[in-house]
Amino acid sequence: CNLTGWWENDLGSKMQVFNVDNDGTFSGEYHTSVSSAKKPIQPSPLIGSQHLDEDGQCTFGFTVNWKKFSDSTAVFVGECFKGDDGKEVLHTSWLLREKVDSEPEDWKATR
- Per residue in 16-49, pLDDT (tens digit) is 999 999 899 999 999 998 887 778 888 999 999 9
d(CA 10, CA 93) in angstroms, rounded, equals 13
Contact 46, 61 (CB under 8 A): no
Judge whether 51 and 61 are in contact, CB under 8 Å.
Answer: no
Indicate whether 50 pLDDT > 90: yes
Domain ranges within the chain, ordered by starting residue? 5-99
For the chain, what percent of residues have pLDDT higher than 90?
A: 65
Which of the pair, 2 or 97, is modelled with greater confidence?
97
pLDDT of amino acid 56: 64
> What architecture is domain 5-99?
Beta Barrel (2.40)
pTM, full prediction: 0.87
